[in-house]
């Protein structure tokens, strides 16, 4: 993974000193709350319901075991012994003390981490494919480009006060695991007919209040031009994005109002001025970044491990886990393993400091000392030998991280909701918990198969409910909490926004609503058809009828 040099380290250290002084001035009354707000937000610090919330950046989701141990330490020393992994591959702490945040940032800096631009109206943490470097369907390893763009976005002086937050996702694979169609900018690293690396550029996607699928504005951008082109997009947005209404300030609204074609032409005109200029990325710089992401020392294995295959055949529990939580690797004899943070009874994405410490040890023992955080709020070991899967499974079971539910109904993506977040209209965690408890029968879950269930506690859509096969949105009606249900949303290359099935439901009805949706699916599904495929084939009416027939 990328390691800081003295230049990178100095920037982060200077940031800690800067924020320490800003915090001192705020506490001394020299800065008003309004003046301090953007400064603390650009260091990931929110003021929440019960305490500040600190969001720490995990650039493109990649962590070393040493960094994970520090995250565990921070949870223990400054928080209540746990952290919450987010849908943007970051980690949040819900109980730090404002006065201690500079110390937390200093601790993070000691392991080449920070909380820079994890909030505020600026370019946020770059997100990417959680299988990067290991996936068999990868055309280009996106990580050198992730790092290039991380560096470009860090303290970019022109774009620190954008109209609104700005999210960039990058993938280098044919399967989109990074949700690039629902980001302000989505980049897909591709090769042209001559084998040169470039990017397919998508802008104006996003969820939130106005869910929109992004538009391709350039099919092939040579990689050397990536920073010039990003500068051009951001400059057009910074100058012309709406600032009169925060609900219309995201780039997706500008793209929509200008039309994608006109927006693309405006970006192109700006790019022509910058093209070939000093920010053109030299091959040498890409080579330097790529040298940080050389493949680990894989053993040369002939193919699938025979003993692993026979254990899968004999051990049903292990086989269930392999079926759901283990994914193919580009190297023969290796596998990608997902550690489920979706055990019933635990808020989705939460991990205790003790779990993090043990996971760090396991990463050292089984996966070359690294792991990634997925935007589905799970942890990934990307490089595990098949012959060691049984041993790893056994250790993960002891840790409570081997729930065989990846991609299933109970692998719920969920924001912290009204229990923690001051923006929320409704609680989200109790809904996730009630659904997980209702559907705890593994055979039923596996029979239902792949199903993305996403829950957001408000319009801001941190739980990405619009792209859930079943999406749940918390709404406020006259001071009480209700839940609106959408079906048919999809992420990935065929991303689609789910459709609302009708009036919202009370919290206690939600498990029944899900059960009825599943009943319709079971009654009507064709062989090998997923829930979302059945919704697409039949439309929402049969689902709507069943759900509302039963409640009235």
Partner 1 sequence: MPQLIKGGALVDDTWTLLRDAAGIDAVPTANVIVPLSAWLTADQALLARDDVGVWLAPADDPAQLAGDVRNLPVIAIDFPKFADGRGYSTARLLRERFGFTGELRAIGDIQRDQLYYLSQVGFDAFVVRDGKDAQDALTSLRDFTDGYQITNRRTPWFRRSGVVGGATVPGERA
Catalog residues that contact partner 1 under the rule CB under 8 A.
Answer: 7, 10-11, 14-15, 18, 22, 35, 38-39, 121, 151-152, 154-162, 191, 195-197, 227, 231, 235, 238-239, 243, 273, 277-279, 281-288, 290-291
CB of 122 or CB of 495, closer to partner 1? 122
The dihedral formed by the CA atoms of 474, 478, 479 and 481, expressed in degrees to the nearest 10: -30
Q: How far is the CB of 352 from partner 1 (least distance, A)?
A: 36
Q: Which residues pair with 352 in a beta bridge?
A: 82
Cβ pair 187, 237 in contact under 8 A = no
Q: Would strands 185-191 and 168-171 be described as parallel, antiparallel, or unpaired?
A: parallel
Q: Which residues pair with 201 in a beta bridge?
A: 187, 218
CB of 34 or CB of 527, closer to partner 1? 34
Q: How far is the CB of 74 from partner 1 (least distance, A)?
A: 24
CB of 14 or CB of 523, closer to partner 1? 14
CB of 18 or CB of 388, closer to partner 1? 18
Q: How far apart are CA 453 and CA 460, in angstroms?
A: 17
CA atoms within 13 A on the CB side of 388: 18
Q: How far is the CB of 37 from partner 1 (least distance, A)?
A: 9
Q: How far is the CB of 284 from partner 1 (least distance, A)?
A: 4
CB of 294 or CB of 549, closer to partner 1? 294
Task: Give phi and psi for 475, each to the nearest 5.
Answer: -130, 155
Structure-block tokens of residue 449: 């198969």
Q: How far is the CB of 206 from partner 1 (least distance, A)?
A: 20
Q: How far is the CB of 105 from partner 1 (least distance, A)?
A: 15
Cβ pair 415, 456 in contact under 8 A = yes
Q: How far apart are CA 497 and CA 376, in angstroms?
A: 17
Q: How far apart are CA 551 and CA 438, in angstroms?
A: 18
Q: What Rg do the C-alpha atoms of the chain give, in angstroms? A: 23
Count of C-beta atoms within a 10 Å radius of residue 502? 14
Q: Where are the alpha helices (DSSP H) in 45-100?
A: 65-78
- Name every residue whose Cβ is closer than 8 Å to that of residue 284 and which is 6 or more positions away in sequence: none
If residue 274 lies in a helix (H) or strand (E), which one and from where to where?
helix 260-274
Q: How far apart are CA 237 and CA 162, in angstroms?
A: 8
Q: How far is the CB of 341 from partner 1 (least distance, A)?
A: 33
Q: How far is the CB of 52 from partner 1 (least distance, A)?
A: 19
CA 128 remoteness from chain centre: 8
CB of 287 or CB of 317, closer to partner 1? 287
Q: How far is the CB of 307 from partner 1 (least distance, A)?
A: 33
Q: How far is the CB of 235 from partner 1 (least distance, A)?
A: 5
CB of 157 or CB of 345, closer to partner 1? 157
Sheet holding 127-128, edge to edge: 127-128, 168-171, 185-191, 197-203, 215-222
CB of 26 or CB of 327, closer to partner 1? 26
Count of C-beta atoms within a 10 Å radius of residue 196? 12
CA torsion sign for 473, 477, 482, 487 is: negative
Q: Which residues pair with 367 in a beta bridge?
A: none
Q: How far is the CB of 251 from partner 1 (least distance, A)?
A: 14
CB of 7 or CB of 314, closer to partner 1? 7
CB of 159 or CB of 483, closer to partner 1? 159
CB of 157 or CB of 297, closer to partner 1? 157
CA atoms within 13 A on the CB side of 132: 33
């Amino acid at each position: 993974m990328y390691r800081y040099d003295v230049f990178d380290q100095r920037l982060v250290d200077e940031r800690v000193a800067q924020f320490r002084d800003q915090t001192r001035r705020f506490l001394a009354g020299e800065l008003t709350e309004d003046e301090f707000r953007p400064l603390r937000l650009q260091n990931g610090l929110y003021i929440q319901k019960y305490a500040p919330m600190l969001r720490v950046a995990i650039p493109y989701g990649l962590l070393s075991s040493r960094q994970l141990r520090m995250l565990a330490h921070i949870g223990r020393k400054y928080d209540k012994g746990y952290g919450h992994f987010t849908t943007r591959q970051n980690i949040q702490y819900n109980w730090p003390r404002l006065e201690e945040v500079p110390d937390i940032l200093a601790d993070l800096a000691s392991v080449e981490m920070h909380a820079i631009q994890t909030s505020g109206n600026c370019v946020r943490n770059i997100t990417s494919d959680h299988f990067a470097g290991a996936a068999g369907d990868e055309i280009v390893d996106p990580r050198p480009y992730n790092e290039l763009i991380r560096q470009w976005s860090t303290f970019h002086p022109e774009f620190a006060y954008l109209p609104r937050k700005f999210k960039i996702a990058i993938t280098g694979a044919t399967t989109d695991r990074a949700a690039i169609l629902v980001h302000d900018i989505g980049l897909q690293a591709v090769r042209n007919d001559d084998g040169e690396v470039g990017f397919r550029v998508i802008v104006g996607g996003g969820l939130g209040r106005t869910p929109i699928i992004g538009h391709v504005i350039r099919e092939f951008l040579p990689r050397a031009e990536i920073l010039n082109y990003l500068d051009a997009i951001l400059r057009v947005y910074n100058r012309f994005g709406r600032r009169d209404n925060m609900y219309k300030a995201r780039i997706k609204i500008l793209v929509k109002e200008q039309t994608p074609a006109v927006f693309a032409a405006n970006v192109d005109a700006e790019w022509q001025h910058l093209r070939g200029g000093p920010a053109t990325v030299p091959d040498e710089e890409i080579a330097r970044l790529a040298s940080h992401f050389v493949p680990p020392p894989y053993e040369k294995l002939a193919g699938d491990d025979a003993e692993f295959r026979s254990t899968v055949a004999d051990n049903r529990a292990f086989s269930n886990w392999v079926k759901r939580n283990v994914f193919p690797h580009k190297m023969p004899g290796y596998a990608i393993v997902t550690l489920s943070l979706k055990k019933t009874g635990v808020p989705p994405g939460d991990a205790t400091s003790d779990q993090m410490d043990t996971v760090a040890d396991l990463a050292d023992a089984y996966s070359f000392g690294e792991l990634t955080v997925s935007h589905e709020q799970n942890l990934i070991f990307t490089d595990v030998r098949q012959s060691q899967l049984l041993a790893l499974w056994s250790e993960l079971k002891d840790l409570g991280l081997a729930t065989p539910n990846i991609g299933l109904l109970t692998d719920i993506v969920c924001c912290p909701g009204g229990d923690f977040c001051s923006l929320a209209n409704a609680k989200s965690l109790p809904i996730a918990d009630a659904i997980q408890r209702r559907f705890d029968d593994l055979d039923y879950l596996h029979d239902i198969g792949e199903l993305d269930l996403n829950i957001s506690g408000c319009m801001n859509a941190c739980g990405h409910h619009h792209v859930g096969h079943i999406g749940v949105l918390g709404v406020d009606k006259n001071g009480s909490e209700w839940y609106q249900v959408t079906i048919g949303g999809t992420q990935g290359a065929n991303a689609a926004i789910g459709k609302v099935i009708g009036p919202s439901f009370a919290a206690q009805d939600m498990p029944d609503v899900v059960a009825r949706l599943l009943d319709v699916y079971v009654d009507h599904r064709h062989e090998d058809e997923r829930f979302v495929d059945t919704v697409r084939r039949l439309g929402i009416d049969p689902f709507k009828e069943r759900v509302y027939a039963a409640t009235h």
